[in-house]
A and B are shown apart, each in its own frame.
Chain A
Amino acid sequence: MKTLAVGSEAVIYEKDSIIIKRRAKKKYRIKEIDEKLRKSRSKAEFNIMNFLYRNGLNVPKPLKYVDRKKEIRMERIDGTRLAEDFSSYDAKNIGTAVAEMHNLGIIHGDLTTANMIKTDKKLYIIDFGLSFHSLKDEDFASDIFLFKNALKSKHNDLYKEAYSCFLNAYKSKIRKEFKGIDTHLKDIEERRRYNESY
């Protein structure tokens, strides 16, 4: 078994072209919290991936959830992480992918370029560890807000251009009145502490 990546939450292994995502124990948390989080997050993640995959979205094909080890097994994707190679053109594809995911009622919860993989033709969204079901404007907006912040912090030089490409693609694909989402988006920004806009 080869270790591919050690994230903040989980360790990713590879074995015979299968990706294993195992949520490691965190010693800083008490057992009651740690067990509960690892189990519920892994299980929910597996179910959501399954749901998206069956509905034709570009996500890794989920294979199995193993409760004893709190691990998910999935198929491998050959590509590069967007965090390492990102352009404004990718932002457009992200906008489309996120809108399609939202149309199915799934909120990602951790939209960053580190959680996206591109191959020659397709863009895959990965890591559904913080995802949940919702069709509320507020939740759609919180996903967009997260992504906006991620762009700002990780790709500051491209941020403005990339964000507008993302948003235009998102608007054209989302099957909902964007105005409602936009209102919540502004709300979320204003809700933060010390915002100079109010």
Chain B
Amino acid sequence: MYTLGVESTAHTFGVGISDNDRIIANERDTLKPAVGGIIPREAALHHFKFAPEILKKALDKSGLKLRDIDLFAFSQGPGIIPALKVGAQFSTFLAKKYGKKLIGVNHCIAHLEIARLYTKLNDPVMLYVSGGNTQIITYYNGMYIIFGETQDIGVGNLIDKIGRRLNMPFPAGPKIEEMARASKHYIEMPYSVKGMDVSFSGIETFVSKLIGKERVEDISFSLQETIFSMLIEASERAMSYCLKDSLVITGGVAANKRINEMGEKMCRERNASFKAIPMQFAGDNGAMIAYTGYLMRDYKQKDLGIKPKFRTDTVEIMYR
């Protein structure tokens, strides 16, 4: 069964194609603003502009024609409204035109499913860290439950906000990581783990006040150490609480080497397994939507509109 998935929740427009549970194409383009962050309207315009080109690339890669596709899937949310609309319209049009079924997929669950597929870990705790999302998700009692999450802003968002104040280009993650490597001097920062949840807005305020007073390298180092320690601690709590013995880190922030190193060390200390997933499947991509759509192929969905505030723990999982 060939499934075509469309991803457009934020600044990435992606099209992926899967042949049952095998990914045969994964193409995308990401909006990179020259200054500032993502402007919703511009993300939508970007997706409109690149949609046909990305679709063609994906089809070429797979050697398929649109009429060969058996099932269409798209990312229903969570995400930015104008950006989501593009993917929804695009995939609805294709499904109608070729008379095929359309499946709406939760973006966060798609991240988890592709991680399970590529790491071969059957039942991991997933630390999902990206610009907008920071969630610790695991399968429990027939649902994907959010064990811990940010109480305010996403961790990537925090990094980008600090980066912008330090005049770093968007996304600021790589630059912060590079700067952090040049320092070993820790500046004490608020450490805010609340049960299994984390909170970042206090750190943002605190770090903003350090800018100009401390070296950028030291700020970057201390920021990374603080926030990643918090996230790994919360992940460990979730693993311990639900008795899970593996961890996967995914999302855009998973590109950071330090957070992976910390996750690996934590898992080694408690005899758990840790696996990194290939970077092309860690960030937002269409392949994960296609694959999750394939898993959900028998679902009967009534609501196929966009869901900008789609929560992970509201989807019934019937395929596990």
Q: Which A residues contact B (CB, under 8 angstroms)?
A: 6-9, 26-30, 32-33, 36-37, 109-112, 114, 130, 142, 146, 152-154, 156-157, 188, 191-196
Contact = CB atoms under 8 A, between A and B. Distances in A.
A191 B147 CA distance: 16
A194 B78 contact: yes
B133 interface: yes
B240 A7 contact: yes
A9 B263 CA distance: 15
Contacts of B236: 8-9
A195 B242 CA distance: 24
A37 B188 CA distance: 11
B311 A112 contact: no
Contacts of A7: 240
Contact of B195 (A33, A109, A193): A109
A36 B189 CA distance: 11
Interface string B258-275: 000111011001100000
Q: Which 5 A-B pairs give the minimum distances between C-beta atoms?
A: A8-B240, A194-B309, A28-B265, A28-B262, A32-B186
A194 B265 contact: no
Given A156-B141, A191-B151, A194-B77, 16 more contacts: A8-B233, A28-B262, A29-B229, A29-B233, A30-B225, A33-B225, A112-B195, A146-B195, A153-B147, A156-B140, A192-B151, A193-B133, A193-B149, A194-B310, A196-B309, A196-B311
Nearest to B308: A194
Given A109-B195, A191-B151, A28 B241 contact: no
Contacts, number: 91
B147 A195 contact: no
Contacts of A153: 140-141, 145, 147, 242
Interface residues of B, number: 44
B145 to A, nearest CB: 5
Contacts of B307: 196
A61 to B, nearest CB: 25
A193 B310 CA distance: 9
A144 B22 CA distance: 44
A193 B150 contact: yes
Contacts of A110: 195
16 contacts: A7-B240, A8-B233, A8-B239, A28-B261, A29-B225, A29-B232, A29-B233, A29-B262, A32-B186, A114-B241, A130-B194, A193-B149, A193-B154, A196-B307, A196-B311, A196-B314
Interface string B185-201: 01010010111000000
Contacts of A6: 270
Nearest to B185: A32
A22 to B, nearest CB: 15
Given A28-B232, A30-B186, A142 B150 contact: no
B227 to A, nearest CB: 11
Majority DSSP secondary structure for residues of B touching A: mixed
A130 B195 contact: yes
Interface string B218-243: 00000001100100110011011110
Given A112-B241, A194-B309, A130 B193 contact: yes
B152 interface: yes
Contacts of B77: 194
Contacts of B140: 153, 156
Interface string B98-141: 00000000000000000000000000000000001100000011
A25 B191 CA distance: 17
**Which among B195, B226, B270 has the highest number of chain A CB atoms within 10 Å?**
B195
Contacts of A27: 265-266, 269
A29 B191 CA distance: 12
Contact of A37 (B133, B141, B191): B191
A193 B191 contact: no
Nearest to A34: B229
A66 B195 CA distance: 25
Contacts of A33: 186, 191, 225-226, 229
Contacts of A37: 191
Contacts of B186: 30, 32-33
A195 B311 contact: yes
A2 to B, nearest CB: 20
